[in-house]
Amino acid sequence: MSVHLTEEEQLEVLKRWWKEYGKSIVIAVLVTVGGYYAFVAWQNQQREQKEIASAKYEDLLAVVSVQPGEALADEERTTAIHLASELKEGDSESLYAHNAALFLARIAVNAGELDEAASELSWVLANKPDIATEQVARLRLARVLIAQEKYDEAEELLATPVDAFKSEYSEASGDIAKARGDLDAARAAYEQALADTDPQQQERVMLLQLKRDDLKVQTNEVTQQTSAETTQ
């Protein structure tokens, strides 16, 4: 009898406990299960979005991949702009979006639309790119600004290069100095660019040497002109 009463007491305790806490437990279980499935759904959505972005980016690469010296046809240009714009709208902080904007900037430069190119490159910098993409965007934006004769703005962008981009940044600084007529500063910048260039990059070495040597010709021309004016 005592055992029977003990079981009844235990059952009564269980009933009271369930009445007090059972609803909370059910809710907690439902929330946990619901959260798990929501997380799985979110992961699937993210994966699908990345797969879609990857496919669009491959399509974009196929469109913009032309032979050196060739320009995009009007239809190709329209398609490239459409695909790149969709990638930018899909996830502004993704590498796909940043690279798409770089392509749009290149298309704009080739079309002589420097303001549009500057806008695309500024967009990249404003949307948390990785360090390599940031350095590329800064360099390209600086070159666009040089073409627009906005030398002070371009110079600010070239102030903090990482080691991998020091040569290109020094070259751009040399271009700014040359455009301003400061041939000594330009020569020093080109020399620095040469010093930071891998000797195995023969084409780049030759380009920098040509830029540097061209300054000597300009210096001689200025000296001869000054001498002629003084003689007169």
**Contact of 97 with 130, CB cutoff 8 Å:** no
Q: List the pLDDT tens digit at each of the 232 positions of the chain.
A: 455 556 667 667 667 766 776 667 767 666 676 666 565 565 665 676 677 878 898 998 898 887 666 778 889 999 999 999 999 998 899 999 999 999 999 999 999 999 999 999 999 999 999 999 999 999 999 999 999 999 999 999 998 889 999 999 999 999 999 999 999 999 999 999 999 999 999 999 999 999 999 997 666 554 445 444 555 5
Q: Which residue ranges make up each domain of the chain?
A: 51-129
Q: Please name the residue that has the structure tokens 């997380």.
A: 39
Which residue has tokens 């609803």? 23
pTM (2 decimals)?
Answer: 0.75
Residue 28 neighbours by CB distance under 10 Å: 11
Residue 207 CB neighbour total at 10 angstroms: 16
* Short-list 130, 58, 108, CA closest to 87: 58
CATH number listed for the domain at residues 51-129: 1.25.40
Cα-to-chain-centroid distance, residue 122: 10
